[in-house]
Structure 1
Amino acid sequence: MAATVALLAALDTKADDAAFLRARLRAHGHDVTVIDVGVLGAPGLDPDIDRSTVAARGGVELAQLRERRDRSTAVATMAAGAAAVVAELVGAGRADAVLAIGGGAGTTIGSAAMRALPLGLPKVILTTVSSGDTAGYVGTSDIVLFPSLVDVAGINRISAVTYARAADALSGMVSGARDGGQQVPDRPLVAATMFGVTTACVMRAKERLEAAGCEVLVFHATGTGGRTMERLVAEGLVDAVLDLTTTEWADEIVGGILGAGPHRLEAAARAGIPQVVSLGATDMANFGPPASVPREYADRVLYRHNAENTLLRVDAHEAGRIGRAIAGKLNAATGPATVLIPTRGVSALDVDGGPFDDPEARAALAAALLADLDPDVVRVEELDLHLNDPEFADLAASRVLAQIEEKTMLPRHTTGAAR
């Protein structure tokens, strides 16, 4: 049975481009459902799903959009409508992949239609805006942005090449998705969070978990990484979480550039899956080059991590707010939850004599967390260790394994070094 590709294009301005791509995909043996997301001009190609349908699904009649002649409203409406139409097609098994084309507006509409689609379903946008800050388009999805090189404005000797390659790439993705791709063993899947300054801990814990038969996904806790992990947990793809690097909450509280938003740490709690959480890199908030650091932090402890990244050492007050925020999220846990507090430091910079060595801030973080955690919901262990100590990593891995096996071997609160 042939695969079906949903092709989104504004057929008043991109009809020739859409026709070329449709022909290329058909040559690969795929069926193509053309969805018109244009508004003003007459379509130059007959669509399978017309623009009136898309606009109505976005909550506004097409005639009203034309009367308003407001580009922003039109793009937002067609984006919402395209998302609804494509989700319905995929849900009904009538689309095996999605391809969108365009500049800024076409990419906005196409990405809106793709971001909530399942992981692994092929999604490609042939776009003029494939470089620069594309986070708003891609979000936490696996959308592929394919550069058009020239504007999406007809077929020429350059666009013919890039269009063909985009269609060929999507066709390959579809073939791979339909044959199942490489099979991997069915093992417990653990999601872990890591930062450069917590790598020693997380990689050792990963080795221990893999040796015990788990598969481990490591997410870089840079905002997008945390949100992506939360999404996969929410979609039911993860069996347990080793959330040792909760640094994104530091950025969220202090105003750094790598916050993951106010819903970080919620997915595992709602899903009821085992979670072992710690305070990795919560001693720091991230900013860009030194000139980008807000003026109110000019007299604070700063560390130039590299030319593009300046780290701010959070103070005791901020540390307390971070601790309370983490506690509030974990108190909503509906499954096994354990917090490990390393009292000797939470990052490679937060060590004895290190640039972020601040016993007062460490104590404030732990005190706020302990004061606000509900002991009937979350198990707590204070450990006379540094987060990057091998013993800490080993204990974290053992707690995940114990929770996966549904053991209740831990007391509600213990103090002292791990054994």
Structure 2
Amino acid sequence: MPSNTPTILLLGTCDTKLSELLYTKSQIESTNATVLLMDCGRNPSRHEEITIPQSALLTTSPSTPIPDLTALTRAEYITTLVPYATKKVTHLHESHQIQGILAIGGSCGTTLAAAVMRDGLPVGFPKLIVSTMTSGDVGPFIGETDISMMYSVVDIAGRNGIVEGVLDNAAGGIVGMASAFLKRERGNKEAELSSGVKIGISMFGVTTPGVKRARERLEEVLPGCEVYVFHATGSGGRALERLVREGRIDAVLDLTTTEIADEVVGGVLSAGDGRLTAATVRDIPRVVSVGACDMVNFGEVGSVPAKFLEGKRLFYEHNAAVTLMRTTKKECADIGTLIAGNLLRDSRDRGQLRRTKVILPVGGVSMLDVPGQPFHDPEADEVLFSTLERELEGSGISVMRDSRDINDPNFAVVVADELAELIRRE
């Protein structure tokens, strides 16, 4: 009979944090959970409680020499070891040998562990890092994943009452998460076989009414579907792309592609130049629009780059922390070109992309782009629309115009019904 207690992978640099790792291991084991201790140190360590030594990670083909990590700089050692550790962690997860992962470390250990967790484990798998870096900007460590981070308060440089208290909590935390994951993993297998289609939708504040109605419509016409809404703030778009790549999402209603505008113009909410490409590669049912492509996002007014302030640009202060800038005709052309390019990028058959449709809301692409609102600019929108039509001509992707704005309830019904039809064809 399978064990009801989880197995935790404990990851750290045993050459610098062995005492703290062994203490954490003992605290996890006190809950009856099993621990696998993986050594990701720069210098290999020998200890009977290390389950996966550094040497077990550095496996190569006969023609490839084993790297000597001790001869590398810290940055080089991390870059070199991450792929090896990631491969091992992925194997442990895919073979159901672990149900949670915990790492402890300073800046180097955190950088290494976070990279392994981001690249080697899916969203939903319990991931926790105790780090000296957690009180600052943790965005570079977490990325678009669900890594949990706990501040160590004092440096992890020897055991003391404060460190042990933090590590005690971390041990209890990861065992709790892993136990929930183990229960969910077993209980959901049968449910997953009968669950409905999983749909991702992109949303921004200025497209919320349209997204809300589209979601309602999808749930009406596709009973049992699961709808996941992603806030188009850069990390939201990256999370959508990741889940599509992982096969966790079956179809996409990409109404809000504003992150492309930030990528093209230089705003703060870009999701990177690969936005929209995951669904292209998988060729899953998808309806795309241009929600909020009338705006580029910055922080408070003082954070707007001087080059934009010097020109005759139109700004709108959304709130004290968010300043929006209207996109120009030239920028709209560039946005349309990038959207079209990413809809086609790496596709297997550029002439048969019939699972993607583009629907353009001629009445306005956001709340601010309708008559009487500050960003209403039909000429700039026309450049965006015509660029997409021209760039996608002959690609197999259907492009259609709708006279209504993106938040019109009837427009929302149209895009939802189009996606539902694509899904039914599957």
Q: TM-score, normalised by structure 1?
A: 0.90
Asked if residue 391 in structure 1 is aligned to residue 378 in structure 2, the reply is no
Q: Deviations over 1:158-181 (max 9, x none)?
A: 222211111111111111111127
Identity score, percent: 40
Residue of structure 2 in register with 1:363 after alignment:
382
**Match in the other structure for 1:304:** 317
Name 2:136's counterpart in structure 1: 132
- The one-letter amino acid paired with 2:211 is V
State how 1:14-413 maps to structure 2 within 5 Å.
14-40=17-43, 46-54=49-57, 61=66, 64-68=68-72, 70-116=73-119, 117-180=121-184, 186-212=195-221, 213=223, 214-298=225-309, 299=311, 300-331=313-344, 332=347, 334-375=353-394, 377-406=396-425
Residues 99, 179 of structure 2: 8 Å contact kept? no
Q: In 2, distance between residues paired with 1:134 and 1:95?
A: 25
Distance 1:45 1:327 in 2: 56
Distance 1:128 1:43 in 2: 25
Query: Counterpart amino acid of 1:279?
Result: V
| RMSD across aligned positions (CA) | 2.2
Bigger mean CA offset, 226-235 vs 35-44: 35-44
Give the Cα–Cα distance (whole angstroms) in 2 for the partners of residues 46 and 322 of structure 1: 55
The alignment's TM-score, normalised by the length of structure 2, stands at 0.89
In structure 2, relative to structure 1, the CA distance for the partners of 1:289 and 1:43 (3 Å cut) is farther
- Offset at 1:76? 2.1
Report the AA paired with residue 336 of structure 2: G
Partners of 2:47 and 2:319 in 1: CA distance? 51
Contact 2:45 2:53 in 1 (8 A): no
Shift of 1:41: 8.3
User: What SS does the corresponding residue of 1:88 show, helix, strand or coil?
Assistant: helix
| Alignment partners' CA distance in 2, 1:364 and 1:139 | 33
**Unaligned 5+ residue runs, structure 1?**
408-419
Q: Which moved more, 1:147-156 or 1:108-117?
A: 147-156
Which stretch shows the higher mean deviation, 178-187 or 386-395?
A: 178-187
Output the CA distance in 2 between the equivalents of 1:383 and 1:236.
31
Secondary structure of 2:296's match?
Answer: strand
> What is the CA–CA distance in structure 2 between the aligned matches of 1:294 and 1:224, rounded to whole Å?
22
CA offset at residue 364 of structure 1? Answer: 0.6
The structure with the greater share of residues assigned to helix is 2
Partners of 1:330 and 1:37 in 2: CA distance: 39
Write the distance in 2 (CA, Å) between the matches of 1:135 and 1:124. 15
Q: Secondary structure of 1:248's match?
A: helix
- Number of equivalenced pairs: 405
8 Å contact kept, 1:5–1:95: yes
Task: Check whether the contact 2:241–2:279 (CA below 8 A) recurs between aligned residues.
Answer: yes
- Gapped regions of structure 2 (runs ≥ 5): none
Paired letter, 1:194: M
Per-residue deviation at 1:60? 7.6
Per-residue CA deviation, residues 249-286 of structure 1 (Å, 9 max, x unaligned), is 10111011111111111111221211011000001111
* Separation (CA, whole Å) in 2 of partners of 1:60 and 1:286: 48
Q: In the alignment, is the contact (CA less than 8 A) between 1:104 and 1:129 conserved in 2?
A: yes
